[in-house]
Amino acid sequence: MIVSVVSMPEGVVARTALSQAREHLAAPGFVIVDIDQGEEPPPDEQPLSRRLGLDDKTWEWLGRQHEPVRAEYHEGAVGCVVPVIDGNHIIHVHVLASECHLVTVHHGPVGLIDTFIERLPQEMPAGAATTVFLFLQGVLEAFRLATAQALLAVEDIEEAMFERREPQQVHRLAHLRRRAAQLHRAFLPYAAVAQEFLMRRRMANRDLSEERRALNRMHERAVQLVMLDIESLQNETRRAADTYASLVADEQNLVINKLAIASVIFLPLTFLTGFFGMNFGYLSNLLSGERSFLTLGVGMQVCALAVSVYFVLYRTHWRQLRAADPAMPPMASPDEQPADRSTS
């Protein structure tokens, strides 16, 4: 277990034991205590809140693994479980804040908390409430940054697929859709809990200062904006997947058209060879000789091929293929006549 204590407003960081952190929490002045319980903390029957000197049963869930997102208010202290982005993973950080302390508990290192502690001496928050909202604002900024990066990745894939479609693009889109679902699944409970908690606090406590009300409104708006960004990412990933499916369908339609052209060419030839290959007396006895072969056997097949190519390919399918291929120049209709520019 790693315990870091930050003395405010000096911003001095010190690594101490859990017993010394309890002394810092009992002393006057505002302190920030960060507790890393490790990936697999040792089993302990006594809750972490009691080991820190917080004997109230309300905070017995503090530091407990697999605790869902929540927010509670009791005797001037606020406790909540906040989802935090750490690379490709979502970590739930336990936060307990009052006018005298800010306690964060997590399992394993969290880069957001290290960055928050490093920036405290430069930012110098005005009070305990400002410090708490500054930490929560960092959580929201991490979600917005991850969402923005995923949106840019979707746009890059969509632009690349119009230039050249590759099988790897659909795998990247699937990964981004899974990332959007992960962000939405992690942030939606926090958005619901935060909105309910802030609204209940405004209705229950009419004596909130204007500064607290402004911080509440700012955080509530930021939560709504992050939620809109995540929903926009989900919509963009769905639209990009639909675009990829449309491109695949267009290519398949082009292949089917080419197969239809080949079948139209060979269909009359197959019919003629099958007809003249029948064992009828008229065909086998009267139609004989080189002249009959050239006239019926070859001539009818050439005429049928020419008619099918003209009426089916040139007037219908060939135009569709030329319209689907941007590299082919536009073809004028055979009925269009060039304008007569000669002068009398």
Residue-wise DSSP of 258-298: HHHHHHHHHHHHHHHHHHHTS--HIIIIIS-SHHHIIIIII
Burial group, residue 70, by CB count within 10 angstroms (0-12, 13-18, 19+): middle
Q: How does pLDDT run across 322-331, given as a tens digit for each residue?
A: 565 555 555 4
Higher-scoring residue by pLDDT: 40, 27: 27
pLDDT of 331 reads 47
Rounded to two decimals, the pTM is 0.72
Q: What is the Cα–Cα distance from 287 to 292, expressed in whole angstroms?
A: 6
Close Cβ partners of 250 (under 8 Å, ≥ 6 residues apart): 324
pLDDT for 142? 92
CA distance 320 to 313: 9
Token pair for 236 = 């963009």
As beta bridge partners, residue 33 has: 5, 103
Question: How confident is the model at residue 143, as a pLDDT?
Answer: 93
The residue among 198 and 97 whose pLDDT is bigger is 97
Closest CA to 94 of 139, 130, 141: 139
Give how far Cα 64 sits from Cα of 94, 103, 188, 285, Å: 9, 14, 21, 99
Q: What is the DSSP secondary-structure string of 131-172?
A: HHHHHHHHHHHHHHHHHHHHHHHHHHHHHHHHH---HHHHHH
**Under 8 Å between Cβ of 130 and 214:** no
Length of the chain: 344
Tell me the percentage of the chain whose pLDDT exceeds 90.
16
Helix axes 167-204, 210-276, angle to 10 degrees: 150
Top pLDDT among 281 and 117 is at 117
pLDDT bracket for residue 229 (50, 70, 90): very high
Question: CB-based burial of residue 30 (10 Å sphere; 0-12 exposed, 13-18 middle, 19+ buried)?
Answer: middle
Peptide bond into 9 cis (omega under 30): yes
- 344 has pLDDT over 70: no
Grouping H, G, I as helix, E, B as strand and the rest as coil, residue 11 is coil
Residue 185 confidence (pLDDT): 93
Q: How confident is the model at residue 253 (pLDDT cuts 50, 70, 90)?
A: confident
- Name the least confident of 122-126, 165-169, 242-246: 122-126
Average pLDDT over every residue of 34-59: 76
Mean pLDDT for all residues in the chain: 79
Residue 293 has a CB neighbour count (10 Å cut-off) of 13
**Residue 228 binned pLDDT confidence (cut-offs 50, 70, 90):** very high
Q: How far apart are CA 241 and CA 226, in angstroms?
A: 23
CA angle 13, 18, 24 (to 5 degrees): 55
> What's the confidence (pLDDT) of residue 325?
56
The whole-number pLDDT of residue 340 equals 47
Distance between CA 24 and CA 31 in Å, rounded? 7
Helix (H) or strand (E) segment spanning residue 337: none
> Helices 300-308 and 210-276 sit at what angle, rounded to 10 degrees?
160
Which has the higher per-residue pLDDT, 343 or 227?
A: 227
Is the confidence at residue 102, as pLDDT, over 60? yes
For residue 62, give every residue at least 6 positions away whose Cβ sits within 8 Å of its Cβ, in sequence order, or none.
Answer: 47, 48, 49, 52, 54, 79, 94, 96, 103, 105
